[in-house]
Structures are given as structure tokens and as C-alpha cells.
Amino acid sequence: MRIRIRFPLRHPFFPDWAATPARLAGGECLALSGSYQELARAATAGLRPSRAVFVMHTPDSPFLGDRQRDALWEMFQVPVFALLLDGEGRLVGYECEAHEGLHIGASCPEGSAQQPIFGTEDSVLGYRIPWDRFVLESAPCECGRPGQRLVYSAEGVAKPMRVCAPSVEERQEQLVG
């Protein structure tokens, strides 16, 4: 699989952990994309980041569940964070240290001209994510950041949702807020 990533790749809560090509080569952080088996093989092969592993979910990559992420955390011996990237390699959603879902953009207001990034009824970017198992959560995250999150739900969800990319002002407010 070929993936294009826009660097620096930063986790919003850990800006000092910015993943740049040099840092990735130095082993501080790993930014990986692939199936669970491929990621487990990377850990077994001896890849040992010192700070974190960022698992990048792109529209055509399989989504890792909580159990798989926890197993990778054990294998790599560092925290594993999920990042949701669009087809152009831009950050769309991210997991914080609370691991309570993916922080994402806002719901599309009625009649909005904003381009939705994904939705259950039309899956705009075609992510391979089991949408019927996610809910859109508006309550503040345990990390204290406001904004909406995609949270896994054991019960199936039949409620359609559409999520838009946040504006630059909204994203800055979330990061500072």
C-alpha cells in the first residue's frame, strides 16, 4: 500500500512529539498504517519506538479495535494512538490519552456548504470503519477537550450522522481550549 503523509504529523495533545521523517527514522515515534497482522509483525521484528506509536487509519485501511490497539500497546511497550487521515494525508480525527474515542470535526449544520468528511448514509471518503458500532458523542472527553468524538458502542447504532471537517478557527479553539 502506498500512503502520502503531510509532515510534520502532530498529535494535538503532544505537539512536542511531532512525527517528522527524521524523528520516525530515529525511532522516537512510529507512524504506521496497515492491518493488525502487519503491525504485530513490525513489533515482533524489533521496531521499538521510545515514545508512542501512531496508527494511521486512511480511507482504505482496516480499522483497529480497542483489543487490537491494546495488544499492540503491549507488543510495542509504548502508548498506541489512532489517527484518522483523509485521502490526502490530512489529520481528520485523533485519539487522546484518555482513549475515549476519536476527536473529530463538527456535525454538519442543516443546509451547510461545508464538505462532509464522512457520514453513515453515504460514507463520503469510504472509510472501512464499522459505522453501525460508533456513536457521535458531544459530552466533553475525560481529557477535558470540548468537541465531538466518535466513540465505539457495543450496541448497534441506527442513527445516521454526518461529520464535517472543523474550520481553522474551531480547530485552534479546540487545541487551545
Can you give the pLDDT of all 177 residues of the chain as single tens digits? Answer: 333 444 445 555 445 544 444 444 455 666 676 778 888 888 888 888 888 888 887 777 777 778 888 999 999 998 888 887 776 676 778 888 888 888 886 555 455 445 545 554 444 445 555 566 677 788 888 988 887 888 876 665 555 555 555 554 555 555 555
Burial 65-80 (b: 16+ CB within 10 A, else e): eeebbebbbebbebbb
Strand partners for 97: none
Rounded Cα distance between 98 and 52, Å, is 14
What confidence score (pLDDT) does residue 69 get?
A: 87
Cell digits for 139? 459530552
Rounded distance between C-alpha atoms, residue 159 and residue 106, angstroms: 16
- CA distances from residue 93 to 96, 132, 146 in whole angstroms, order as listed: 10, 18, 14
Q: How many angstroms separate the CA atoms of 149 and 105, rounded?
A: 8
Is the full-model pTM beyond 0.75?
no
Residues 6+ apart with CB under 8 A from 120: 131, 132, 159, 160, 161, 162
